[in-house]
Chain A
Amino acid sequence: MKKNNPIIAIVFWSLVSFLTLFPIYWLFVISVKPAVQLFSTPDVMLSDPYWGNYAKVWGDRLLRSYMVNSLVISTGNALLCTILGFFACYALSRFKMAGKESLFFWTITNRMAPPAVFLLPLFLLMTQVYAVGDFRLLDTRIGMILVYCTFNLPFAIWTLRPTLDGIPKELDEAAYVDGASSWKVITEIVFPLCRPGLAVTLILTWVFAWNEYLLAATLTNFNARTLTTGLSEYVTTTGTEWGIMATISVFTLIPALIVFGLVQKHIVAGLTFGAVKG
Chain B
Amino acid sequence: MQSNRLGWILLAPTLVILFFFGVLPFIYVVYVSFHQWNPFAADPTMIFNGADNFRKIVFDTEFLNSVGVTVLFVLFAVISELVVGYILAQAFMKEFPGKAIFRTIHTLPLIMAPIIVGSVWKLMMTPSIGIIPHYLNEWFGITVNIGMSPVAAFTTIIVMDIWHWTPLVTLTLIAALVSLPPDPFKQAQIDGANKRQIFFHITVPMIAPAVVATVFIRLMDALRTVDEVWMLTGGGPGSATRFVGVHIFKEVFPKTNYGYGSTISVIVLYLTIVACWLLYVTMLAPRNKKE
Contacts and interface: CB of A to CB of B under 8 A. Distances in A.
Pair from one complex: yes
Interface of A: 1-2, 4, 6, 9-10, 12-13, 16-17, 19-21, 23-24, 26-27, 30, 38-39, 41-42, 44, 84-85, 87-88, 90-92, 94-97, 103, 105, 107-122, 124-125, 130, 146-147, 149-150, 153-154, 157, 176, 182, 186, 207, 210-214, 228, 231-232, 242, 245-246, 249, 252-253, 256-257, 260-261, 264, 267-269, 271-278
Contact of B22 (A97, A113, A257): A113
Contacts, number: 276
Interface of B: 1-2, 4, 6-8, 10-11, 13-14, 17-18, 20-22, 24-26, 28-29, 39, 88, 91, 93-98, 102-117, 119-121, 123-124, 128-131, 134-135, 163, 167-168, 171-172, 174-176, 178-179, 209-210, 212-214, 216-217, 220, 223-224, 226-227, 244-245, 248-249, 252-253, 258, 261-262, 264-265, 268-269, 272-273, 276-277, 280, 283
B224 A252 contact: no
Contacts of B214: 272
The 6 closest A-B pairs by CB, nearest first: A95-B7, A211-B113, A275-B213, A121-B25, A9-B96, A117-B265
B261 A117 contact: yes
A114 B114 contact: no
B179 A114 contact: no
A175 B93 CA distance: 41
B4 A97 contact: yes
Given A114-B269, A272-B176, 18 more contacts: A16-B88, A23-B120, A24-B108, A103-B11, A108-B220, A114-B244, A114-B264, A117-B265, A119-B252, A125-B25, A130-B20, A211-B115, A214-B226, A228-B115, A275-B209, A276-B172, A276-B209, A278-B175
Contact of A252 (B21, B28, B108, B116): B116
A204 to B, nearest CB: 9
B217 to A, nearest CB: 7
B94 A253 contact: no
Contact of B273 (A107, A112, A118, A277): A112
Nearest to A227: B113
A24 B120 contact: yes
B198 to A, nearest CB: 14
A236 B163 CA distance: 27
A86 B174 CA distance: 26
A268 B147 CA distance: 37
A114 B265 contact: yes
B131 A112 contact: no
Given A26-B131, A114-B224, A4 B10 contact: no
A38 to B, nearest CB: 5
B269 A112 contact: yes
A268 B29 contact: no
B104 A264 contact: yes
A273 B102 contact: no
Nearest to B273: A109
A153 B105 CA distance: 28
Contacts of A149: 17-18, 21
A4 B94 contact: yes
8 contacts: A17-B102, A120-B258, A146-B21, A150-B22, A253-B111, A257-B111, A271-B217, A273-B216
A97 B8 contact: yes
Given A246-B119, A271-B171, A84 B210 contact: no
A271 B168 contact: yes
Contact of B120 (A92, A249, A260, A275): A249
A2 B140 CA distance: 40
Contacts of A124: 28
Contacts of A117: 29, 248, 252, 258, 261-262, 264-265
A173 to B, nearest CB: 8
